[in-house]
Chain A
Amino acid sequence: MAELTLVEAVNRALTHEMERDEDVIVLGEDVGVNGGVFRATNGLLSRFGGDRVLDTPLAEGAIAGAAVGMAAMGLKPVAEIQFSGFIYPTIDQIVNHASRLRNRTCGRLTCPLVLRSPCGAGIHAPEHHSESPEAMFAHIPGVRVVIPSSPARAYGLLLASIRDPDPVVFLEPTRLYRLFREEFADDGEALPLDTCFVLREGKDATLVSWGAATHEATAAADALAREGIYAELIDVATLKPLDFETILRSVQKTGRCVIVHEAPKTGGFGAEIAARICEQAIYSLLAPISRVAGYDVVVPLSRLEKQFMPSVERIASAVRTVMENS
Chain B
Amino acid sequence: MSVGFRIDYLQLLSPSGELREAAEEAGWNADVLRSLYQAMTRTRVFDAKAVALQRTGQLGTFASALGQEAIGVGTAYAMHPDDLLVPSYRDHAAQLLRGVTMAEILLYWGGDERGSDFKNARRDFPNCVPVATQVAHAVGAAYAFRLRKEKRAVVCFIGDGGTGNGAFYEALNMAGVWKAPVVIVINNNGWAISTPRARECAAETLAQKAFGAGVEGRQIDGNDVLSVYKAAQQALEKAREGDGPTLIEAVSYRLGDHTTADDATRYRSPDEVKEAWTREPIGRLRAFLAGKRLWDKEKEDALQRRCAREVEEAVATYASTPPRGCEAMFDYLFHSLPASMKDQLEEARRFDPVRRNGHG
Chain A residues in the interface with B (C-beta under 8 A): 25, 51-52, 54, 56-57, 59, 61-62, 64-75, 77, 92-93, 96-97, 101-110, 141-142, 164-166, 194, 241-245
Contact = CB atoms under 8 A, between A and B. Distances in A.
Report the 10 A-B pairs with minimum CB-CB distance, sorted nearest first: A65-B136, A69-B140, A66-B140, A241-B338, A62-B170, A73-B144, A59-B170, A69-B141, A69-B137, A106-B117
A137 to B, nearest CB: 15
Contact of A103 (B84, B125, B139, B332): B332
Which of B125, B128, B178, B339 has the largest count of A CB atoms less than 10 A from its CB?
A: B125
A241 B342 CA distance: 11
B167 A70 contact: no
A92 B129 CA distance: 12
Contacts of A74: 144
Contacts of B125: 72, 109
Interface in B110-129: 113-114, 116-118, 122-123, 125-126, 128
B167 A107 contact: no
A103 B171 contact: no
Nearest to A112: B335
A93 B174 CA distance: 16
B143 A69 contact: yes
**Main SS at interface, chain B:** helix
Contacts of B334: 102, 142, 166, 241
A110 B171 CA distance: 21
B207 to A, nearest CB: 20
B280 to A, nearest CB: 33
A97 B334 CA distance: 14
13 contacts: A25-B147, A59-B173, A61-B170, A62-B170, A66-B139, A70-B144, A73-B123, A73-B141, A102-B333, A106-B114, A108-B117, A142-B333, A243-B339
Contact of A65 (B122, B133, B142, B335): B133
B142 A69 contact: yes
A164 B147 CA distance: 22
Contacts of B128: 97
Contacts of A59: 170-171, 173-174
Which of A51, A65, A93, A109 has the largest count of B CB atoms less than 10 A from its CB?
A: A65
Contacts of A61: 133, 136, 166-167, 170
B113 A109 contact: no
Contacts of B177: 56-57
B50 interface: no
Contacts of B335: 102, 110, 164-166
B171 A66 contact: yes
A102 B167 CA distance: 22
Contacts of B341: 241
Interface string B159-172: 00000001100110
Contacts of B117: 105-108
A70 B143 contact: yes
B143 to A, nearest CB: 6
